[in-house]
Structure 1
Amino acid sequence: MGDQERAEYLARQGIQDRRVLEAIAHLRRAEFVPEQERARAGADTPLSIGQGQTISQPYIVALMTQALRLEGHERVLEIGTGSGYQTAVLAQLCREVFTVELLPDLSRTAQGLLTRLGFQDIAYRVGDGTRGWPEEAPFDAILATAAPEEVPAALVAQLTRGGRMVIPVGPAYGSQELLRIHRGPPGTLPRVEHLLPVRFVPMVETTPL
């Protein structure tokens, strides 16, 4: 499946945000996976990128991005740079992306690729994703590509009022749910929507919060 064909396939699967579909059509997924996986890059399936990490299937990338409801002016925090594919989708749809990756080699490789592809408004950080990026907060939207067992309070606190976060939550070897969390006015609890069951690699906390 080519990348334009993938966008058309995703539209048939219910992805309705035209900007998301166009962003995916503009990327070659094969560039974001190791050479031994490139023959499978056209499939709508997760693929290994090494070090126990994966690139999500395109449908999930599209669904999570669509769920953020980006309009183009937002500052977005991504937890889990991984291959850089989700980062590249976000960077086409918002003003600025701040992306945090725990594994230095993955961060370095993704930064090199995204720079070569011409992406500029992306800031990179190696560190514990459960802590977010407090020095750059608040963010209009947060997207996580790894699953904590519970929603990290630090990430919710780094949302703007009215901001939203899309995050998989659940145990590494159990049931996980993709959530959309809306941060409301002061004095109110965040509103949580359950989107669908998912399976993601665990979000690793390296230092206690």
Structure 2
Amino acid sequence: MKRGDGPAGLEKSRPGFPAKLVTHPAVAVKKTALPQPSRPAVVPLAKSPALAGTGAAKPAPSRVASGFGTGSQAVRADMVRKLQAQGIAHPGVLAAMLAVERHRFVDTALANQAYEDTSLPIGLGQTISKPNVVARMLSLLFERDGVNLGRVLEIGTGCGYQAALLSHLSREVYSIERLRGLHEKARENLRTFRLANLHLLFGDGMQGFAKGAPYSGIIAAAGGEAIPQAWIDQLAVGGRLVAPAVTAAGQQQLVVIDKTVHGFDRKELEPVLFVPLKSGIA
């Protein structure tokens, strides 16, 4: 649904990563006892204009509605219980959604709706997906490998919420956004979390990010007529891609592609409604 400094920025070499990356081991989530979020170590924010790392220490005071504060965890716990009731069972995904404060990624006027199962506008004609859709896609992406995928590529950073969740579930995350306004908003939203294993890029998501490939997982927040070949090429053997796409029936559906040594295994799942996938930067 969602983009740093033009194509030239993407031609820079891959960024270095900390010698010891922050990881988030699987946390069992039970309906009667939800996990407490862990806080990774603070690592300085990278300064590259086109490839900026952010990384999740204790956040600064929220810029949104003061009504949340210390009570926001109880509201998030209620959201997670509702996700469980809707069939979301992946413990790592549930733990990440408990840990990441969704209200920090929406405008102040919408903060009181942050934990409802609804999509919300984030500007420039884009939206933050409803929690159930985010949890469903993440569960599909990680269902075979448990909690710690290696390197993941997100197409469409948007406001940065899903990127923050991915940082709790992956060893390294590259997230690319084509709209400069959203790229800058995501950087600002994520700055206080200081996620050491998350790197934001500004560029054309349809081209992926070849310098970070191969990826064990690719996830997209916009849907086009077809899955771009660049994404398929950058997916590692044994990797999985989850994205919306228009199928032969003419309807946008959630598509899962597994890359094997013998080719590809494609599954078309439930109907979805995402913003259109577009090329170029703006």
- Partner residue in 2 for 1:167: 243
Find 2:195's aligned residue among 97, 119, 134.
Answer: 119
What amino acid sits opposite 2:139 in the alignment?
A: Q
What amino acid sits opposite 1:205 in the alignment?
A: S
What amino acid sits opposite 2:133 in the alignment?
A: I
Cα distance in structure 2, aligned partners of 1:158 and 1:51: 28
- Larger displacement relative to structure 2 (144-153 or 66-75): 66-75
Q: How far is the alpha carbon of 1:112 from its aligned partner?
A: 2.3
Give ranges in structure 1 of 5+ residues lacking alignment.
Answer: none
Alignment partner of 1:110 is 2:182: no
| Residues paired across the two proteins, number | 203
The Cα offsets for residues 61-97 of structure 1, whole Å up to 9 and x where unpaired, read as 0000010125314100000000111101110011010
Cα distance in structure 1, aligned partners of 2:278 and 2:136: 23
Q: How far is the alpha carbon of 1:101 from its aligned partner?
A: 0.1
Find 1:189's aligned residue among 238, 241, 263.
Answer: 263
3-state SS, counterpart of residue 94 of structure 2: helix
Alignment partner of 1:198 is 2:278: no
Q: How far is the alpha carbon of 1:38 from its aligned partner?
A: 1.4
Find 2:154's aligned residue among 78, 82, 87.
Answer: 78
Cα distance in structure 1, aligned partners of 2:81 and 2:154: 26
Cα distance in structure 1, aligned partners of 2:112 and 2:251: 30
Taking structure 2 as the reference length, the TM-score comes to 0.69
The Cα offsets for residues 139-193 of structure 1, whole Å up to 9 and x where unpaired, read as 000000111111101101101001000000029xx620001100110xx331111
Cα distance in structure 2, aligned partners of 1:25 and 1:114: 17
Q: Which one has more relative contact order, counting CA pairs under 8 Å at least 6 apart?
A: 2
Cα distance in structure 1, aligned partners of 2:272 and 2:184: 27
Cα distance in structure 2, aligned partners of 1:17 and 1:164: 16
Cα distance in structure 2, aligned partners of 1:40 and 1:115: 23
Q: How far is the alpha carbon of 1:194 from its aligned partner?
A: 1.5
- Larger displacement relative to structure 2 (92-101 or 108-117): 108-117
Cα distance in structure 1, aligned partners of 2:194 and 2:136: 25
- Partner residue in 2 for 1:52: 125
Runs of 4+ in structure 1 displaced over 4 angstroms? Answer: none
Taking structure 1 as the reference length, the TM-score comes to 0.93
Rg larger in structure: 2
Query: In 1, are the aligned partners of 2:149 and 2:217 still within 8 Å (CA)?
Result: no
Q: How far is the alpha carbon of 1:118 from its aligned partner?
A: 2.7
- Partner residue in 1 for 2:84: 11
Quickly say closer, same or farther: Cα 1:73–1:67, change in 2 above 3 A.
closer
Q: Percent identity?
A: 38
- Partner residue in 2 for 1:142: 218
3-state SS, counterpart of residue 124 of structure 1: strand
Find 1:90's aligned residue among 143, 166, 169.
Answer: 166
